Copies of this chain bind each other. A is one copy, B any other.
Amino acid sequence: MTDRSDHRGSGPSGQKTGIPRDHPRYRSLVVRERLARLAREGIVSLEGLTAHGRGEAFDYLIGEKTMASAMLAEKTAAALLLTACRPVISVNGNTAALAPEEIASLQRASGAIVEINLFHRTEERVEKIRRHLESAGVDVLGGTPERILPLDHDRGLSYPEGTGKADVILVPLEDGDRCEALVRMGKKVVAVDLNPLSRTSRMATLTVVDELTRALPNITSFCMTLHRDEAGEIVRSIDNSYFIGEAMLEINRRLSACSG
């Protein structure tokens, strides 16, 4: 569904890729190669690669840019993190692969605890992801995970000092059942999800319909500039259906323009 040629560009870490710099989908293809490399290293799961492709398609449909409504959602996400008693960022393999530096910056700006949560969980993979995040400057929560969420699979395993005590939890690229379980436990859940129709998007307290590496720096900026009073006001009036509805309208507008 994409096209590539043989001139060389450099990937995120400077290594040569097979993608020409002037390719219309250069950035998306570089990210795809980066994820493939991190899959070979065991950080990204093979299923995670496919999930990333799903996200790519929705990003394409919203125009691969931050919508005005998403920017407002990002401001609201910052307000939730700033007013939380115990904010937590839950990181999976794709998030660690795509945005380790962005997670580190958001952690510094928000004071959030960062914990690792994996569907395809092995201790070896947790350690690889921990090292990957730490080398980008993330302070990763340690300890022994427990089955804090009522989910059969390994995504139910979380840290008592992280998800266990969190009142606000940012879950980028989350699964619908885990998002639902967190909401049922009374947590305020902030999702970053490019599919406005997903169960995660519909279940979350707040859904940021934006690509992760655009969304996180925006949330970080708002964390650094938002006043506590304004933050408190924002969190009292969250209407997630507005953000979902605006994303669907934007996709509709773009498709209508293309087909018209």
Contact = CB atoms under 8 A, between A and B. Distances in A.
Nearest to A31: B50
- How many chain copies? 2
Contacts of A132: none
**Prevailing SS type, chain A contact patch:** helix
Nearest to A6: B152
B197 A258 contact: yes
A249 B259 CA distance: 8
A55 B1 contact: yes
Interface stretch (A69-77, A135-143, A171-179, A223-231): A171-179
Contacts of A53: 49-57
Interface in A201-241: none
Nearest to A257: B248
Nearest to A248: B259
A108 interface: no
Nearest to A37: B46
A63 to B, nearest CB: 11
